């Protein structure tokens, strides 16, 4: 089993056939009262609460994760932050001759 599945869903003895589950539109996951509900997120920000290890493993195998920050693009925020700092510094330099040479 994948490390990410074990990390998010826990360890299980089950060896599911995810291809068979995905190809069956009538497949229903059974609620497991011994499994603590896990909230998962996808790339679009959709949320699903899973109530069994098999359901959790199926979603994680499909790319879902338990941390929405896994999908945030930090480089985009870094770019816009540095651009803003550069623009503010440029404004103050022109207005107050802030960075003049001695």
Look at residue 70 in the predicted model and tell me its pLDDT: 62
How many residues in the chain?
102
Please report, rounded to a whole number, the percentage of residues in the chain having pLDDT higher than 90.
41
Q: Can you name the residues that pair with 49 across neighbouring β-strands?
A: 39
Q: Rounded to an integer, what distance in angstroms lies between the CA atom of residue 100 and that of residue 102?
A: 7
Low-confidence ranges of the chain (pLDDT < 70): 1, 69-73, 98-102
Q: Where does residue 69 rank: exposed (0-12), middle (13-18), buried (19+ CB within 10 A)?
A: exposed
Q: Rounded to an integer, what distance in angstroms lies between the CA atom of residue 53 and that of residue 13?
A: 10
Per the structure block, which two tokens stand in for 72? 């945030």
């Amino acid at each position: 089993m994948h490390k990410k599945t074990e990390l998010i869903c826990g360890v299980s003895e089950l060896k599911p056939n995810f291809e068979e589950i995905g190809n069956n539109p009538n497949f229903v996951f059974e609620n497991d009262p011994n499994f603590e509900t896990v909230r998962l997120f996808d790339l679009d920000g959709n949320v699903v609460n899973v109530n069994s290890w098999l359901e959790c493993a199926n979603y994680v195998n499909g790319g879902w994760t338990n941390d929405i920050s896994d999908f945030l693009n930090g480089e985009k925020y870094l770019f816009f932050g540095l651009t803003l700092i550069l623009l503010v510094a440029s404004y103050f330099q022109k207005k107050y001759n802030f960075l003049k040479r001695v």
